[in-house]
Amino acid sequence: MISRLLLLLLALLCTGPNAWADKEEGLFNKLLAPGPLSLPHHDLEAMDCLKCHSAGEGVPNEKCLACHKEIKEHVKLKKSFHGNNVKGRCLKCHTEHLGRKNDTTKVKQRTFEHKLTGHILKGKHKKTKCIECHTTKRTKKAFRKNEPHYLGTTTSCKGCHKKDDSHKFKGKWEKLECSKCHGEKKWKEDNHDFTHNKDTKHKILGAHKKLKCIKCHLPKGKKEDSIYKFEGLKEKQCLTCHQSRHKENFGPKFVKKSCNTCHNQKSFKMEKFDHSITGFKLTDKHAKLDCIKCHKQSDKKMEIKSEHFVWKGTKADCRSCHKPTHHQKFTKKFEKLKCTTCHTTKSYKDEAHAKANFDHGTTKFKLTGKHKKNSCRKCHLVNKKSTYEFKNEKSGYCLSCHKTPHTEQFRDDFSEQSCNSCHRTESFKDVHRKEFDHNETEFELLGKHQKVKCQKCHVPTNKTFKESHSFKGKFIFDELGEKSCLTCHKDHHKSEMGPNCRTCHTERGWKVQRDFHKDMPLTGVHYTLSCTECHFEERKLKGLGDQCIVCHTKDDIHLGSLPKCGACHHQEVWEVTRFKHSMTRFPLRGVHRTLDCNSCHGSGNYQGTQSSCISCHTSDALSVANPVHIMPQFNDCSRCHNQFSF
Amino acid sequence: MKKTALLLFFLIIAGQALGKSTIGRVTFGSYFSDENFKRNTAEGKSNDFLIFSSRFYLKGDKAAPYNHDFALDLRGKYDFYGKLDKDKQTLHDEYDAHPRQAYIKKSRRSHGLEYQLGRFSVDGVGINYVDGLQTNYKLNSTFKLGAYGGLIPKLTGEQKYSFNSKSKQSGVLLFFRPRRLGFRKYFFSSHGFSIQGYGSQTDRSFLHSHNSYIWGRRGRFYSNIVLDFVPRTFLQKGDFSISSDLSKKVSAELGWGTHDNLAISRSKTKREVKYSNRYGEVTTKLSYDFWEYNGIFIEGKIQRRKSDSSYSNQSTVGLDFPRFLKKEFSLYSYFSFRNDYEKKEYKANLALSYFARLWELFIDQSISQQNYDNNQVLRPIVAELGWAYFWARGLMTTFSYQYSTNANVDIYQVLFKLSYRFGSKPSAPLREGAPKKGHL
């Protein structure tokens, strides 16, 4: 009974009100289905349930995917929404048997996260409306036929932007996605994923890196097609894009050379050009110059334009650019001299180089002394005009630059001499006597005269001299022969000693006198005397050195009887004499010691005095009567008498 | 002593201030002698003496007022020249301090009247000192006439001059000196006639003539004549000497001299005239110079003593190098043979001097052998070492030590002298070739 009821129930269900809903609803469905299927699936109702259901498994995904093959493909490839995000059963999102109006595929556009599709919207795409990319509508679908059909929309840029493709790539580039180069943030964002040096055969360097693609690849603007294949790039190289301004201005050496010879991609303007390859190495200031400074075509003033650069034919000769101030002023000998002998590119006016390299000795005027330190202009630039030929060769060229104060002051034989006779280049004022032989002037310079400056003796005078017409004879002494020293020196002796001062004085020092005391050296007290103490009133005593009496008359205790004082005395110590009375035949003893010298040596007669007693005691002898002493046997008084007690 | 020192100090200071140019000298010193007799010592063995003496000399030129010259020469007690012994020191006062010179003078350079007043020596006429006045009149720079008059200072011993109001003297003078003969020539002639007397008596009158003429290198003529008229006419003194270059290196000298000095003294009022013993001498000398003034010489001398008509002759050969070895040395050495009146003597002498920067040193050594007629032989040796040091140009110290000996006596003598020269006149220039004397 129950079973019958169940079957009945089942039949009712299948044919129940749901059955009464759709005519096409299958009987089974009418009996078993919980409800009618959605409109897109309504034709499945005529089929058995097993079309979707599996006994004991419910509705497996395979059943769904058997019809939804596109989704199956996505799932397999794991792309799109279903491939990236769906896990689990289809029924999870797409339930059925909820009636014809059941719509399980509706997408909430506002809240749908597009990243679930595996395609992340970036940049402007974020703001793009769905319909702008998903342009296909659901016309074939049961529901929302005017809504975009999302499934199957390509993620390729070209899917939407094909009309924007201006590249018209060919070959391998054609297959590339736009995103290789373009960005969703900014369409014109270059090198999005494109490395020119890796992805192309042409490496871009230097300033080229900063260029926008269109600079090269769309040179003529959007009106033209972009260029990606440059014909003859290998051959033309830079000229493919860059127009040469040099035209035919290169010399043959450089005509065939590539632009890289001079230019680099860092900056088209040359930073460094090895000018040495031209055969003219640029050094120092030349290296700092702009090319135009030298490579000018004409002297005319013109607006500087590149076509005016003349590279070929520019001479390496200094004169092609520099107007020489020496032009045609050098003597023939030096005309062919290179500018670089004297000048350098460091500084045209740098004379150090000139001095180092130019041997002035090759000229007629060798540089010595202070001349060496002079700048070239000092001599060779007169009144802003350069001069290289000088007159006054006889004077040693000195007068070409130096004014002479000796004008007409020299005697004839001196006036023609070179200035070098007296002056040196080390110091003009320092008259170098070694070079000037003063002996030629008949006045030999000796001693201190050698150190005296010329001006000391050669003082200006208004005197005129017979010998040399009338002029201020600064260097002539007309009276020198006669006066000699007195020409310059005052005679303190007032002519007493004659005019020849050299007799006593020397040039070594006025107070240093000649050795006129050669025959009588002054020693002892004499050495401390002044000359006039002996030579008062200019008294001369030459040859009288042994005649002490001449000066010492008043001191002579011998009263002039012993003129040869030196026999007993010496001037070092006058008081101590060689003469000792005690060492004579007659030593003074006894009472004799108490007597004056004159008592025996009457009036200073010392040499002629006899030592016999009788010579003094004659009267004493005569006065004795007993015995009478005037007898031969009484000649020797000492036989009876002695000095102590007569 | 204090007064003396104060006086000297004052004089030195005054001397510095006085005169356009002033010079002065102060000398202090001592002299010691020790004689030890080896024989005949019965009455004494030695003659020793020690004296301290001093001397002060000051001379100024053009002193205020009226630009007079002045001079003062004070001799201290004993004076250095006086060789004393104990006996003399006790017996005589002749060695007392005294002024040797003290005068003021007005001199002229060109022409005009000159005068001199005080105690002074009348130069050029043989008169040593006079206390009086001398006036000269310079006719020009060549001729000068003069006259003098005054008292004859009494000479006691050999040194002391003291005022003597009784003896007087006067005379006239003539000086002749031509100028501008050049350096190598010089002629000077002075003549004077003097009268010495006592009261109204004329003790002596004499003519004194001095002439000297110098020429060339060694050319020299020198004459000094004293011709007495009172008490009798005789040539009291005559010295003639002439020397001349025979060639560049050889020179010769000839000299002749005669002396017969007389001494006039008064014993109370009685005049005593003492004639000496005429003595004459002829010398000749030949010199050869190795270089200027340095060479060898040979000298011969003949002497005659009138009293006994005895002769003495002497031959000498020697070396005379006044300046050699950088002109710092002086050498005088000779060997002589002398046949004396009573002995034959062989003598050798060496005198060597060295002039250093600040000092001088000399050594004098002589040795001789005397063979007397009585067969006595003596060999005297005299050795002296002297040293002078110049502390400054004006301050000089002299020291001498002498040793003399023979068979009869040994004598030691030491002299020490300190001399200070001051004044405004410059000292003599450094002798050329001599070492510099420091800050002298």
* Spatial CA neighbour of A68 closest among A105, A34, A31: A105
Q: Residue A17: is its pLDDT beyond 60?
A: no
Cβ contacts of A514 within 8 Å, gap of 6 or more: A502, A503, A504, A505, A506, B432
Cα–Cα distance measured from residue B240 to residue B315, given in angstroms and rounded to the nearest whole number: 20
Interface of A with B in 542-581 (CB under 8 A): 542-544, 547, 549-550, 553-557, 559-561, 563, 570, 572-573, 575-576, 578, 580
Residue ranges per domain, chain A?
2-158, 160-320, 332-386, 398-534, 583-639
Q: DSSP 3-state assignment of A291?
A: helix
Cα–Cα distance measured from residue A642 to residue A590, given in angstroms and rounded to the nearest whole number: 8
Q: What angle do CA B302, B306, B311 make, to 5 degrees?
A: 30
Mean residue pLDDT across chain B: 82
Q: Other C-beta atoms within 10 Å of A349: how many?
A: 11
Cα–Cα distance measured from residue A155 to residue A445, given in angstroms and rounded to the nearest whole number: 118
Higher pLDDT, A12 or B38: B38
Q: Which residues of B touch A533 (CB under 8 A)?
A: 23, 425
pLDDT the model gives residue B381? 94
Cα–Cα distance measured from residue A123 to residue B204, given in angstroms and rounded to the nearest whole number: 162
Amino acid at A372: K
- The verdict on a CB contact (< 8 Å) between B261 and A556 is no
pLDDT the model gives residue A463? 56
Burial status of residue B42 (CB atoms within 10 A of its CB: 0-12, 13-18, 19 or more): exposed
| Residue A439 distance to chain B (closest CA, Å) | 26
Q: Which residues of B touch A602 (CB under 8 A)?
A: 261-263, 274-276
* Spatial CA neighbour of B156 closest among B114, B75, B96, B238: B96
Q: Other C-beta atoms within 10 Å of A345: how many?
A: 18
- Do the Cβ atoms of A30 and A16 come closer than 8 Å? yes
* Chain B contact probe: residue of A514, A537, A573 with most B CBs at under 10 A: A573
Q: Residue B260: is its pLDDT beyond 80?
A: yes
A498: nearest CB among B182, B261, B413: B182
Cβ contacts of A378 within 8 Å, gap of 6 or more: none
**In which band, very low, low, confident or very high, does the pLDDT at A64 lie, cut at 50, 70 and 90?**
confident
- Do the Cβ atoms of B60 and A532 come closer than 8 Å? no
- Do the Cβ atoms of A598 and A557 come closer than 8 Å? no
- Do the Cβ atoms of B343 and B310 come closer than 8 Å? no
Q: Residue A95: is its pLDDT beyond 60?
A: yes
- Do the Cβ atoms of B381 and B366 come closer than 8 Å? yes
**In which band, very low, low, confident or very high, does the pLDDT at A152 lie, cut at 50, 70 and 90?**
confident
How does A50-67 read in b/e, with b if 16+ C-beta sit within 10 Å?
Answer: eebeeeeeebebebbbee
Q: Residue A6: is its pLDDT beyond 50?
A: yes
CA neighbours closer than 13 Å in the CB half-sphere of residue B283: 21
Cα–Cα distance measured from residue B201 to residue A303, given in angstroms and rounded to the nearest whole number: 138
Q: DSSP 3-state assignment of A534?
A: helix
Q: Residue B339: is its pLDDT beyond 50?
A: yes
Q: What angle do CA A221, A225, A227 make, to 5 degrees?
A: 95
- Do the Cβ atoms of B126 and A553 come closer than 8 Å? yes
Which whole number is the average pLDDT over A89-112? 82
Q: Residue B43: is its pLDDT beyond 90?
A: no
Sign of CA dihedral A450, A451, A457, A458: positive
A484 touches chain B (CB under 8 A): no
Burial status of residue B89 (CB atoms within 10 A of its CB: 0-12, 13-18, 19 or more): middle
| Residue A512 distance to chain B (closest CA, Å) | 7
- The verdict on a CB contact (< 8 Å) between B239 and A563 is yes
- The verdict on a CB contact (< 8 Å) between B388 and A556 is no
A642 touches chain B (CB under 8 A): yes
- The verdict on a CB contact (< 8 Å) between A582 and B409 is yes
pLDDT the model gives residue B301? 93
This model of the complex carries an ipTM of 0.84
pLDDT the model gives residue B147? 94
pLDDT the model gives residue A315? 63
pLDDT the model gives residue A237? 79
- The verdict on a CB contact (< 8 Å) between A553 and B384 is no
CA neighbours closer than 13 Å in the CB half-sphere of residue B86: 9
| Residue B218 distance to chain A (closest CA, Å) | 6
DSSP code at position B115: E
B183: nearest CB among A503, A578, A603: A503
Q: Residue B436: is its pLDDT beyond 50?
A: no
pLDDT the model gives residue A14? 47
**In which band, very low, low, confident or very high, does the pLDDT at B119 lie, cut at 50, 70 and 90?**
very high
Q: Other C-beta atoms within 10 Å of A409: how many?
A: 19
pLDDT the model gives residue A57? 79
Identity of the highest mean pLDDT range in A392-396, A474-478, B130-134, B220-224: B130-134
Amino acid at B339: N
Q: What angle do CA A604, B26, B353 make, to 5 degrees?
A: 70
pLDDT the model gives residue A486? 75
A561: nearest CB among B182, B259, B394: B259
Q: Other C-beta atoms within 10 Å of B277: how many?
A: 19
- Which pLDDT tens digit goes with each residue over A358-383? 888 888 888 888 888 888 888 888 78
Paired tokens of A337: 């001299």
Amino acid at A575: E
- Which pLDDT tens digit goes with each residue over B365-374? 999 999 988 8
**In which band, very low, low, confident or very high, does the pLDDT at B132 lie, cut at 50, 70 and 90?**
very high
B380: nearest CB among A530, A531, A583: A583
Cα–Cα distance measured from residue B222 to residue B93, given in angstroms and rounded to the nearest whole number: 38
Phi, psi of A380 (to 5 degrees): -95, 5
* Spatial CA neighbour of B431 closest among A538, A537, A546, A528: A528
pLDDT the model gives residue B316? 95
Paired strand residues for B245: B251
Q: Other C-beta atoms within 10 Å of A615: how many?
A: 14
**In which band, very low, low, confident or very high, does the pLDDT at A442 lie, cut at 50, 70 and 90?**
low
- The verdict on a CB contact (< 8 Å) between A528 and B380 is no
Paired tokens of A91: 């029924």
Distance of CA B159 to the CA centre of its chain: 12
- Which pLDDT tens digit goes with each residue over A510-530? 665 555 566 677 777 787 777
Task: State the pTM of this model.
Answer: 0.56
Higher pLDDT, B158 or B349: B349
A509 touches chain B (CB under 8 A): no
* Chain B contact probe: residue of A512, A575, A598 with most B CBs at under 10 A: A575
- Do the Cβ atoms of B423 and B400 come closer than 8 Å? no
pLDDT the model gives residue B148? 94
Residue B210: in which H helix or E strand, if any? strand B201-215
DSSP string, B260-305: --EEEEEETTEEEEEE---EEEEEEEEEEEEETTEEEEEEEEEEEE
Higher pLDDT, B152 or A294: B152
**In which band, very low, low, confident or very high, does the pLDDT at A21 lie, cut at 50, 70 and 90?**
very low
Separation in Å, CA A151 to CA A41, A115, A425, A498: 18, 14, 108, 148
What domains does chain B contain, in order, with CATH numbers?
A: 2-423 (2.40.170)
Q: Which residues of A touch B355 (CB under 8 A)?
A: 521, 523
**In which band, very low, low, confident or very high, does the pLDDT at B335 lie, cut at 50, 70 and 90?**
very high
Separation in Å, CA A569 to CA A490, A565, A636, B81, B364: 40, 6, 33, 11, 11
Paired strand residues for B202: B197
Q: Which residues of B touch A598 (CB under 8 A)?
A: 158, 263
- Do the Cβ atoms of A515 and A526 come closer than 8 Å? no
Lowest mean pLDDT among A237-241, A317-321, B406-410: A317-321
Paired strand residues for B191: B174, B209
Q: Which residues of B touch A637 (CB under 8 A)?
A: none
Q: Which residues of A touch B263 (CB under 8 A)?
A: 598, 602-603
Burial status of residue A110 (CB atoms within 10 A of its CB: 0-12, 13-18, 19 or more): exposed
Q: Which residues of B touch A505 (CB under 8 A)?
A: none
pLDDT the model gives residue B194? 93
Cα–Cα distance measured from residue B179 to residue B200, given in angstroms and rounded to the nearest whole number: 41
Identity of the highest mean pLDDT range in A24-38, A53-67, B351-365, B366-380: B366-380
* Chain A contact probe: residue of B33, B261, B301, B419 with most A CBs at under 10 A: B261
How much of chain A is in helix, strand and coil states, percent to nearest 5? 40, 5, 60
- Do the Cβ atoms of A370 and A425 come closer than 8 Å? yes
pLDDT the model gives residue A141? 78
Q: Which residues of B touch A596 (CB under 8 A)?
A: 157-158
A587: nearest CB among B123, B307, B408: B408
* Spatial CA neighbour of A409 closest among A353, A355, A356, A461: A461
pLDDT the model gives residue A639? 75
Phi, psi of B285 (to 5 degrees): -145, 135
- The verdict on a CB contact (< 8 Å) between B262 and A603 is yes
- The verdict on a CB contact (< 8 Å) between B183 and A544 is no
Phi, psi of B94 (to 5 degrees): -70, -10
Residue A608: in which H helix or E strand, if any? none
| Residue A631 distance to chain B (closest CA, Å) | 17
Paired tokens of B70: 């002045």
- The verdict on a CB contact (< 8 Å) between B277 and A611 is no
Which whole number is the average pLDDT over A101-122? 81
A135 touches chain B (CB under 8 A): no
A315 touches chain B (CB under 8 A): no
Residue of A nearest to B26 (CA): A525
Mean residue pLDDT across chain A: 73
What percent of chain A is predicted at pLDDT more than 90?
0
